[in-house]
C-alpha cells in the first residue's frame, strides 16, 4: 500500500501541490475543504443537538404528566419521529414539505437538516427523559405536591434534578450519535464530511487516505462530546444518590 | 462520471493485488478465445443506453451490441463453430484491474479513454463521445451557461461534473450556487422541484432522466458543451491482433452504416425496462469519431 498524504495539499481546481498545504487568495486545497467540511458537520450536529435536547425534554416531561391529552401528545410525537427512517425524514423535509407549503421553499437546506435531525433525535431523548422520570419512586412526586409545590414546581425542584442526572449516560450516547447521524446532511447538499469524502475521493483517486482522514475527524468530534458530558456527569454528581459514587 | 461507494473502493484495492502478478501471463486474447471457445464481456449494470442490465443476468445496450457484433466477427475469423459469451458485470472501480488480469476480455461499458488509462489498458476506436451539457426547464429562458450566474446549479455528488463546474467558475468568474444531489435521480428532482435552475451532467444521463420524467416536454438540454470525453470499448494492453480484429469489425459497422442504425436502436427507439426512448441523437462529436475512427484520449479532445 502506497500512502499519499500529500493529496490534501493539492489545489482543488488544478490539482497542483500548494506549499504549506493551505490555499489562499481564492485557492482552496483539499485540506482547506476538509476543515470547512468538518465545520459544517460540527455546526449541524450541535444545533440539531440543541433542538433535540429542548424538544426531547419537553416531550419526555409531557409523557409523565398526570393529564391524558399531554401524555398522548408526547407519545404521538415520539412514535412519529422514532418510526420513520432518518434519511426518509430528511427527504420529506427537503422535497415533500416545501412542495405542500411553498413558502418553506426559501428555507436554507442547512436549517431543514438541523430541524430534521433535531426532531428525529428529540423522539429518542424524549424516551430517555421519560424513563429517567419514571425511574424515580412515585413517593417523590407525592411528597413534592404534599409540601405545597405546584406541579411545575415539583418537576423543577424535585423530579427533574434527579431524572436528568440519571439519564446523562444515555444522553451522552445520543449526543455522540447525532454527530454520526449528521452524515445524512450530504443528501441535502450540505458540504459536510461525508459529501467531502464522496467527492474528494472521486477527484483525487486517493479514497483510502480521504476516508481515513474523515473517519478520524468523526471520531475526534464524537469523542470530544463524550468527554464534555463525562465532565458534566462528574460535576453534577450527588454523593449517595444513584450513580453518585457514594 | 460515476458514483462511488466505500465497498467498491475496497474491492478495487483487493482486485489490484490480484491483478499485478497476472499481467504478463496472457499470450493473446485471440488464442485464449480459440482455445477455450469462450469470451468474457465486461458489462455495466446501469450506464444509460450504453450498457445496462435487463434483469436475470442479461445485459444490453449500444456498446454491448457492438461487442456482440465484434465477437461474432472474431468467431468467424477464428473459424470457431461456436463461441460462448460470458457476461461479467464490472464497476468504475474494478473494470481496469479485471481487464488487465484477464477476467474480462473486452469491456463494453462507459469507460472514458484518457491518457492515464492508456498506460494500463488499450481502447478500441471511439464509438461514442460524451458531452457534458446543461438541462433546464423549457420555460426558464436559459440558453447558455453565462445566464446561470448567481443561480442554483444542480449536479451529482461523486462525479467529475462537480470539479468541472468549479473549474468553470474559476476560469470565467461566473458564480454558481451549487446544489449537490446524492444521485442522478435526486439531482433531477432538484431541477424538477425548482430548487435548482439547471442540472449539469453527461448528456446521456440528462436525456435519460428527461425521458423518464412525468412530462418530458417541460425540460430541454441547452447551451454550450462544457466538456467532451471519448467513450470506447476497453481491451487489454499490448494485444495488437485482438485490437485489430475488434477495430476492423467496428470500422466495418461504420462503413456499412450499421453503426448509425445500432445507435438509433439504443438512443432513439424505446428501450427496456421502461420502454421509453432516451431521445439523444448522435452528436456531431460522435459522428466525427465515426467519420475518422481513432483511439485518441480525452486530452486530445480538450486541446481543440
pTM beyond 0.90, yes or no: no
Mark which of B172, B201, B228 sits at the end of a domain.
B228
B90 and B102 together in one domain = yes
Whether B120 has its CB under 8 Å from any CB of chain A: the answer is no
Instruction: Please answer yes or no on whether A211 and B6 come within 8 Å at the CB atom.
Output: yes
B241 and B116 together in one domain = yes
ipTM of the modeled complex: 0.81
B219 and B268 together in one domain = no
pLDDT on residue B182: 86
Mutation target to probe the B interface, by most B beta carbons within 10 A, among A26, A95, A189 is: A189
Mean per-residue pLDDT for B273-286?
88
Q: Is residue A115 part of a domain?
A: yes
B224 and B77 together in one domain = no
Predicted confidence (pLDDT) at residue B176 exceeds the cutoff of 80: yes
Q: Is residue A112 part of a domain?
A: yes
Q: Running DSSP on this structure, what letter comes out for residue B56?
A: T
Q: Is residue A241 part of a domain?
A: no
Predicted confidence (pLDDT) at residue B3 exceeds the cutoff of 60: no
- The domain tally of chain B equals 2
Q: Is residue B195 part of a domain?
A: yes
B288 and B236 together in one domain = yes
Instruction: Please answer yes or no on whether B9 and A211 come within 8 Å at the CB atom.
Output: yes
pLDDT on residue A15: 80
For B:146-175, CB contacts with A below 8 A are 157-160, 162-163, 166-167, 170
Q: Is residue B205 part of a domain?
A: yes
Whether B177 has its CB under 8 Å from any CB of chain A: the answer is no
Q: Is residue B62 part of a domain?
A: yes
B48 and B151 together in one domain = no
Instruction: Please answer yes or no on whether B193 and A95 come within 8 Å at the CB atom.
Output: yes
> How far is residue A98's CA from residue A93's CA, in Å, rounded to a whole number?
7
Q: Is residue A246 part of a domain?
A: no
B146 and B161 together in one domain = yes
Q: Is residue A49 part of a domain?
A: yes
* Residue range(s) defining the domain that contains residue A131: 5-236
* Residue range(s) defining the domain that contains residue B224: 131-228
Of B241, B217, B253, B206, nearest in space to B69 by CA: B253
Q: Which residues pair with A139 in a beta bridge?
A: none
Q: Is residue B235 part of a domain?
A: yes
CATH number at residue A28: 1.10.3720.10
B208 and B242 together in one domain = no
CA distance B163 to chain A (A): 7
Whether A195 has its CB under 8 Å from any CB of chain B: the answer is yes
B57 and B186 together in one domain = no
Q: Is residue A243 part of a domain?
A: no
Whether A202 has its CB under 8 Å from any CB of chain B: the answer is yes
Q: Which residue has the higher pLDDT, A229 or B299?
A: A229
Give the pLDDT band of residue B25 (cuts 50, 70, 90): very low
Nine-digit cell at B31? 488464442
Mark which of B170, B194, B228 sits at the end of a domain.
B228
Instruction: Please answer yes or no on whether B157 and A95 come within 8 Å at the CB atom.
Output: no
Q: Is residue B98 part of a domain?
A: yes
Mutation target to probe the B interface, by most B beta carbons within 10 A, among A30, A40, A202, A213 is: A202
> How far is residue B229's CA from residue A68's CA, in Å, rounded to a whole number?
66
Nine-digit cell at B34? 480459440
Considering only the beta carbons, identify the residue of A1, A198, A207 that sits closest to B157: A198
Q: What is the pLDDT along chain A (246 residues), one digit of tens a residue?
A: 578 898 899 988 888 888 888 887 778 899 999 999 999 999 999 999 999 999 999 999 999 999 999 999 999 999 999 999 999 999 999 999 988 998 888 889 999 999 999 999 999 999 999 999 999 988 999 999 999 999 999 999 999 999 999 999 999 999 999 999 999 999 999 999 999 998 998 787 777 899 999 999 999 999 999 999 999 999 999 887 765 544
- The domain tally of chain A equals 1
Q: Is residue A54 part of a domain?
A: yes
Q: Is residue A242 part of a domain?
A: no
**Whats the size of chain A, residue-wise?**
246
Mutation target to probe the A interface, by most A beta carbons within 10 A, among B195, B214, B302 is: B195
CATH number at residue B167: 3.40.190.10
Q: B217: Cβ–Cβ under 8 A, 6 or more apart, which residues?
A: B138
Mark which of B228, B255, B280 sits at the end of a domain.
B228
Does residue A33 contact residue A12 with C-beta atoms inside 8 Å? yes
B87 and B42 together in one domain = yes
Mean per-residue pLDDT for B108-115?
89
Q: Is residue B224 part of a domain?
A: yes
Considering only the beta carbons, identify the residue of A186, A195, A198 that sits closest to B4: A198
B113 and B162 together in one domain = no
Q: Is residue B1 part of a domain?
A: no
Give the pLDDT band of residue B159 (cuts 50, 70, 90): confident
For residue A99, list chain B residues with Cβ-Cβ distance below 8 A: 193
Q: B204: Cβ–Cβ under 8 A, 6 or more apart, which residues?
A: B48, B49, B50, B130, B267, B278, B280
pLDDT on residue B7: 52
Considering only the beta carbons, identify the residue of A13, A187, A202 that sits closest to B159: A202
pLDDT on residue A207: 77
For residue A10, list chain B residues with Cβ-Cβ distance below 8 A: none
B152 and B257 together in one domain = no
Considering only the beta carbons, identify the residue of B13, B182, B194 that sits closest to A187: B182
pLDDT on residue A18: 87
Q: Is residue B115 part of a domain?
A: yes
Helices (H), A135-240: 138-146, 151-154, 160-181, 193-204, 207-236
pLDDT on residue B304: 56
Instruction: Please answer yes or no on whether A207 and B4 come within 8 Å at the CB atom.
Output: yes
Q: Residues B198-224: pLDDT tens digits?
A: 999 999 889 988 988 889 999 999 988
Instruction: Please answer yes or no on whether B9 and A105 come within 8 Å at the CB atom.
Output: no
Q: Running DSSP on this structure, what letter comes out for residue A23?
A: -
Q: Residues A131-142: pLDDT tens digits?
A: 999 999 889 999
Amino acid at each position: 500500500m502506497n500512502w499519499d498524504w500529500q493529496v490534501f495539499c493539492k489545489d482543488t481546481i488544478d490539482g497542483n501541490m500548494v506549499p504549506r498545504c493551505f490555499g489562499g487568495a481564492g485557492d482552496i486545497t483539499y485540506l482547506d475543504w476538509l476543515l470547512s467540511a468538518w465545520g459544517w458537520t460540527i455546526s449541524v450536529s450541535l444545533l440539531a443537538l440543541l433542538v433535540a435536547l429542548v424538544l426531547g425534554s419537553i416531550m419526555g416531561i409531557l409523557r409523565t404528566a398526570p393529564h391524558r391529552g399531554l401524555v398522548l401528545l408526547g407519545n404521538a410525537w415520539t412514535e412519529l419521529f422514532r418510526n420513520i427512517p432518518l434519511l426518509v425524514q430528511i427527504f420529506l423535509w427537503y422535497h415533500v414539505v416545501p412542495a405542500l407549503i411553498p413558502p418553506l421553499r426559501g428555507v436554507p437546506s442547512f436549517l431543514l437538516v438541523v430541524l430534521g435531525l433535531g426532531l428525529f433525535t428529540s423522539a429518542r431523548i424524549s424516551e430517555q427523559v421519560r424513563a429517567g422520570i419514571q425511574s424515580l419512586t412515585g413517593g417523590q412526586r407525592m411528597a413534592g405536591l404534599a409540601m405545597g409545590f405546584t406541579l411545575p414546581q415539583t418537576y423543577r425542584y424535585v423530579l427533574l434534578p434527579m431524572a436528568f442526572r440519571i439519564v446523562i449516560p444515555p444522553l451522552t450516547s445520543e449526543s455522540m450519535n447525532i454527530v454520526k447521524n449528521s452524515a445524512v446532511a450530504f443528501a441535502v447538499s450540505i458540504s459536510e464530511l461525508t459529501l467531502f469524502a464522496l467527492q474528494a475521493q472521486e477527484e483525487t483517486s486517493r479514497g483510502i487516505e480521504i476516508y481515513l482522514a474523515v473517519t478520524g475527524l468523526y471520531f475526534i468530534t464524537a469523542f470530544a462530546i463524550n468527554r464534555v458530558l463525562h465532565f458534566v456527569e462528574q460535576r453534577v454528581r450527588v454523593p449517595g444518590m444513584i450513580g453518585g459514587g457514594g | 462520471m460515476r458514483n462511488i461507494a466505500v465497498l467498491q473502493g475496497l474491492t478495487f484495492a483487493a482486485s489490484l493485488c490480484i491483478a499485478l502478478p497476472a499481467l504478463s501471463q496472457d499470450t493473446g486474447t485471440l488464442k485464449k478465445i480459440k482455445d477455450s471457445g469462450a469470451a468474457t464481456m465486461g458489462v455495466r449494470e446501469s450506464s444509460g443506453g450504453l450498457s445496462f442490465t435487463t434483469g436475470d443476468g442479461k445485459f444490453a445496450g449500444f456498446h454491448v451490441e457492438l461487442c456482440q457484433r465484434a465477437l461474432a466477427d472474431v468467431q468467424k475469423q477464428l473459424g470457431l463453430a461456436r463461441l460462448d459469451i460470458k457476461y461479467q458485470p464490472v464497476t468504475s472501480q474494478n473494470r481496469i484491474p479485471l481487464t488487465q488480469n484477464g477476467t474480462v476480455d473486452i469491456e463494453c461499458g462507459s469507460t472514458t479513454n484518457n491518457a492515464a488509462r492508456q498506460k494500463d489498458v488499450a481502447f478500441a476506436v471511439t464509438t461514442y463521445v460524451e458531452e457534458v451539457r446543461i438541462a433546464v426547464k423549457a420555460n426558464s429562458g436559459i440558453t447558455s451557461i453565462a445566464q446561470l450566474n448567481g443561480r442554483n446549479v444542480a449536479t451529482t455528488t461523486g462525479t467529475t461534473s462537480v470539479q468541472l463546474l468549479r473549474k468553470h467558475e474559476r476560469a470565467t468568474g461566473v458564480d454558481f450556487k451549487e446544489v449537490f444531489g446524492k444521485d442522478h435521480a435526486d439531482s433531477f428532482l432538484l431541477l424538477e422541484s425548482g430548487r435548482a435552475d439547471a442540472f449539469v451532467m453527461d448528456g446521456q444521463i440528462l436525456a435519460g432522466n428527461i425521458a423518464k420524467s412525468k412530462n418530458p416536454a417541460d425540460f430541454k438540454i441547452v447551451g454550450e458543451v462544457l466538456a467532451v470525453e471519448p467513450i470506447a470499448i476497453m481491451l487489454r494492453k499490448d494485444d495488437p491482433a485482438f485490437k485489430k480484429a475488434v477495430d476492423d469489425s467496428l470500422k466495418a459497422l461504420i462503413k456499412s452504416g450499421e453503426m448509425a442504425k445500432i445507435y438509433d436502436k439504443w438512443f432513439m427507439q424505446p428501450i427496456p425496462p421502461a420502454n421509453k426512448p432516451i431521445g439523444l441523437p448522435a452528436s456531431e462529436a460522435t459522428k466525427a469519431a465515426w467519420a475518422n475512427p481513432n483511439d485518441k484520449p480525452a486530452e486530445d479532445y480538450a486541446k481543440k
